[in-house]
Amino acid sequence: MESIRVSIAAPIWSSPELALERRRRRRRPPPPPAGRRSSLSRSAGRLSALFAMDVSQADPLKEVTLGTVMATEEEYASQSKLLQEFTNVCSIDKAWIFQSEKGKGSQAMFSVSQSNLLANKRRKFILSAQIASGSSNSVTFQWAQFPVEMANASLIVPSPSGSKLLIVKNPENDSPVQLEIWGSSQLEKEFHIPQSVHGSVYTDKWFEGVSWNFDESLIAYVAEEPAPSKPTFDSSGYKKDSSNEKDCGSWKGQGDFEEEWGETYAGKRKPALFVIDIQSGEVRAVQGIASSLSVGQVIWAPSSGGIDQHLVFVGWSSDQRKLGIRYCYNRPCALYVTKNPFHQSEANEKDFKGDSGKGSTLYNLTQSISSAFLPRFSPDGKYLLFLSAKSAVDSGAHGATNSLHKIDWPVDGELSLHRSIVDVIPVIMNAEEGHFPGLYFSGLLTNPWLSDGCTMILSSIWGSSEVILAVNVLNGSVSRISPTESSASWEILSLDGDNIVAVSSSPTDVPQLKYGYLIDKTISSASWSWLDISSSIFKCSEKVKMLLGSLQFNIIKIPVKNVAACTTKGASKPFEAIFVSTKSKNDLPDPLIVVLHGGPHAVAISSFSKSLAFLSSLGFSLLIVNYRGSIGFGEEALQSLPGKVGSQDVDDVLTAIDHAVNLGLANPSRIAVVGGSHGGFLTTHLIGQAPDKFIAAATRNPVCNLGLMVGTTDIPDWCYVESFGSEGKNHFTEAPSAEHLSLFYSKSPISHLHKVKTPTLFLLSAKDLRVPFSNGLQYARALREKGVEHKVIVFPHDVHGIDRPQSDFESFLNIGVWFKKYCK
């Protein structure tokens, strides 16, 4: 495993005594001359003699130590086998459906991934199926006999008709980017784009954008801009007029420091926009984009007169410092329109004047709103729809309630640049019980439209679940079309005409493919029926089936403890927790693990999690708390947390635990807690503020000291907004004052460290730019100073998420063993 174990406390599967004895057995020094052995030496000699004996004759204390180590090693081996069975379950990353050429049925293509622990990567493959409709609203999927592995494929993008397939292969060094165009039976084109043209194509699901034009002759995409030239030196000193070509007689300097977009973007150059002609292989960079603008999510505007003239993309401005953008929806962004670099304007063609004045072909379409992303054109080309995180941008919270908007688009291609932005779904501040709580997008299809041309299908968070919504973009009506009686989570994969292919899962059920169809054909008053689709994609072992079959879950409403302190109605409403437990009735409840998500403006949903299912299968109940401030519950509840971190969120978790205990779901003497990032912030706060409540804790890349984090993180503004509230945007500075640092300390878990006595496991990433591992390491070293039992594992090549397959595996394996040790 690629990890470094920092032996602040000895690893739980290896003790200092046992390691010392093993070394002694390998090389015992000769005894010193008679008469020169101290009492300490004599004691050590007796200890060595005892260890050389049979264990049954050994010192009782050492016998216990060795027995504990052996038992722990057996636990480690047993749990690793079980965790591997869960790890082997596959995931669907994307799906596409195309109408068959003969007009009967359709063809589905699923991009599937599976952990490859030995290679420390995810194995990717394609599985295809023929979809055929039968009588009585039945449907059958005829699966291909075997999947096809997509080795080295960074990105797969079918053309709109499904007749071509783009495969992007990014290099791991300075080699060219490889673009392959496949037809139905063979490779048709292959292009090698040198680094002097552009670097790797973005595949990050945020800047990422690859779009075929309508006649499938051009592809627009986002890639790293070419590397800037760097100073070159040789034996004579500085070398003038140097190039980026390698020369064994010289060496490259570093050049000027360039800002990056933070976590997961280390070493990535600025995203820029390119178009390739797939007939000639010519690649053109889109000109006229300001150097301060990073681009992403490009799509083609509807063609005018059969000509693809314009591209629409999202732009993020960075005139000053680039703050971290991963998981940070509070970064201002806008939609821009620009000319296709292959389009030659006709003499009588009307043009528009861009933002940069004469000669510019770039224009900001959304100047009146602070956030605009994920653009989609309506099928008739009359509207440009987009999502917005203006609530996050305006408040400073890194995640908040989304909104959906539209702009009229000219069908004649003549752009008028002063178009109003119309709200389709506004920000929902506070919804009544059971009503739509607001838009919290979790994904948007490339083509999300039903055949009426005005109904958009998308996935969104609704409380503690993910659901599928139908949105009428003409009147703004929103319908929940995944089953309302289901507490499981539902995610849309693709549309098959007016039918839906989705996946449903829960904490106790592996994912299941679903096929949704309209019971009546009137979309405006539609009700949907859902069929189970037989598939081996999510195949799991009989042991996993048995263990999951013994579990149950439900979503619990938890009343707010101090309603009088709430300043809004939304903040006073009950929050939720997902409770997972065994179906069997025991005299005493199983040990409880309290699970805390990060963010804090994120959510834990009722979907299948391999790591949490593994912990459940070890004999633990889970209490997965969505404290106030989580998304999915309305904007008022979410905005109640900034300025109150370390108090309101901590109180909510303690209230949830007490609620579970009062319901008889938990034994108050056997409770553990685990969380990552802000969940780690809460974990370390809880073991300090409630030191007698938890018998064990585990934390992944925790925020332990805001005063230390603010000077080292890629998101220092987060420290200000969560500590000060929305006014933190105005206080934010790169040079915190003494007063600021004092407030950060008072909000931090380290201020309660002197009370901690809970054995704690730390799992840290050496390449974490979000919460640098010095944060957790400082806290762990302070626990060592106090004599509190703990263990630290540092993953040297991981970023904040600890999601490389080997690291994720070792992380949750150690959590399982750690909790079993203390929760017997």
Write the CA distances from 753 to 573, 685, 786, integer angstroms: 32, 8, 9
Q: How many CB atoms lie within 10 A of CB 762?
A: 27
> Which pair of tokens denotes residue 597?
């998500």
What residues form DSSP beta bridges with 449? 456
> Which pair of tokens denotes residue 787?
């004599």
- Calculate the CA dihedral of residues 524, 526, 532, 534 and round it to 10 degrees: -40
- Look at the block and give the residue holding tokens 């054995």: 759
Short-list 171, 192, 195, 194, CA closest to 181: 192
Peptide bond into 600 cis (omega under 30): yes
Write the CA distances from 291 to 151, 271, 272, 311, 586, integer angstroms: 35, 10, 9, 18, 65
> Which pair of tokens denotes residue 171?
């290099």
Rounded distance, CA 601 to CA 207, Å?
21
Indicate the DSSP class of residue 745.
Answer: H
**Do 654 and 686 contact (CB within 8 A), yes or no?**
yes
> Which pair of tokens denotes residue 525?
């008053």
**Do 750 and 687 contact (CB within 8 A), yes or no?**
no
The catalytically annotated residue of 652, 768, 798, 808 is: 768
The catalytically annotated residue of 211, 391, 677, 811 is: 677
- Look at the block and give the residue holding tokens 């976590």: 263
> Which pair of tokens denotes residue 757?
């006595």
Known catalytic residue at 677: yes
**Do 758 and 696 contact (CB within 8 A), yes or no?**
yes
Q: 737: Cβ–Cβ under 8 A, 6 or more apart, which residues? A: none
Short-list 296, 476, 482, 313, CA closest to 404: 476
Rounded distance, CA 811 to CA 699, Å?
10
Q: Is 614 helix (H, G, I), strand (E, B) or coil?
A: helix
Known catalytic residue at 808: no
- For the chain, the distance separating the N- and C-terminal CA atoms, rounded to the nearest angstrom, is 27
Q: 277: Cβ–Cβ under 8 A, 6 or more apart, which residues? A: 217, 218, 342
Indicate the DSSP class of residue 729.
Answer: H
What residues form DSSP beta bridges with 300? 311
Short-list 107, 106, 147, 141, CA closest to 126: 147
Residue 388 sits at φ, ψ, to 5 deg, of -140, 145
Known catalytic residue at 768: yes
Residue 353 sits at φ, ψ, to 5 deg, of -95, 120
3-state SS of 294-315 is: EEEEEEECCCECCECCEEEEEE
Short-list 319, 256, 253, 259, CA closest to 291: 319
Short-list 221, 215, 218, 245, CA closest to 232: 245
The catalytically annotated residue of 617, 800, 807, 808 is: 800
State the burial class of residue 402 (Cβ atoms within 10 Å of its Cβ: 0-12, 13-18, 19+): buried
Question: What is the helix (H) or strand (E) element at residue 738, kind and residue range?
Answer: helix 738-747
Rounded distance, CA 201 to CA 204, Å?
9
**Do 369 and 379 contact (CB within 8 A), yes or no?**
no
**Do 478 and 470 contact (CB within 8 A), yes or no?**
yes
Short-list 769, 793, 772, 790, CA closest to 781: 790
Write the CA distances from 469 to 11, 336, 443, 632, 717, integer angstroms: 48, 28, 11, 14, 33
What residues act catalytically?
677, 768, 800
